[in-house]
Amino acid sequence: MFFNSMPDVKSPNQVQIVRVKAGKPLTMYLTGDCLQVMTHWYKGKSFPCLKPELDNCPLCQIGVVQRYYAYYGIRSQDGKPRMLELTSTAEAQLTDCFRNCPIESVMLVTVGREPGKRNNPIHVSGNYKNCSPEELGEAQRVVLDKDLMKRSLIHLWGLPTTNGNITVHEYYLTLEKHIKEVINGNV
Ligand SMILES: [Zn+2]
């Protein structure tokens, strides 16, 4: 499910995606919401799958496989909010790391891939420490919500934008039209 409410996607406010690169481990604070999306990779770009909101998704119909991605709101060590992109297996490791994590704790995540191939599996490890509400507030100073993540993905993926004055269903119809034009080579 990509949307359950319609954000104003004209807003310039957006954040970048952090992708895990082989041989370059990264450590960051886990601070925000998680957005789980079914996507399609087609003609060198990402698109959201339009099911189940629409009965048919043009990319499913032509046999392009679905790919699951989870986007976690994080704060990188330079203090900037970003979205960490994880596959389902990487997300399962993340969930394991924080299974017993108390609510009032700061979560520090390290992600990496073995050097070599670009698509080597992602390794996730995590640490947490209990803290006071003040410390937690400071650690989570920059929090990403789902709407900001959705808005950012729409910009990063080059999808049609709106000012938020249309319904979710109308936006899906706009996306369907856009994707059909991409398939037909008109975009
Ligand atoms: Zn689809």
In the three-class reduction of DSSP (H, G, I as helix; E, B as strand; rest coil), residue 101 is classed as coil
Report pLDDT for 43.
96
Beta strands 81-86 and 105-113, pairing class: unpaired
How far does the centroid of ligand 1 lie from the alpha carbon of residue 183, in Å?
13
Q: How far apart are CA 158 and CA 187, in angstroms?
A: 11
Round the average pLDDT of the chain to a whole number and report it: 86
Answer whether 48's CB lies under 8 Å from 38's CB: yes
Report pLDDT for 1.
46
Report pLDDT for 147.
82
Report pLDDT for 10.
63
Which stretches of the chain score pLDDT less than 70? 1-13, 139-143, 164
Q: How far apart are CA 116 and CA 183, in angstroms?
A: 33
How far does the centroid of ligand 1 lie from the alpha carbon of residue 50, in Å?
5
Helix ranges restricted to H, 29-184: 58-61, 88-97, 133-139, 146-156, 168-183
The residues whose Cβ lies within 5 A of ligand 1, an ion, are 49, 57, 59-60
How far does the centroid of ligand 1 lie from the alpha carbon of residue 98, in Å?
31
As its CATH architecture, domain 17-157+168-177 has Beta Barrel (2.40)
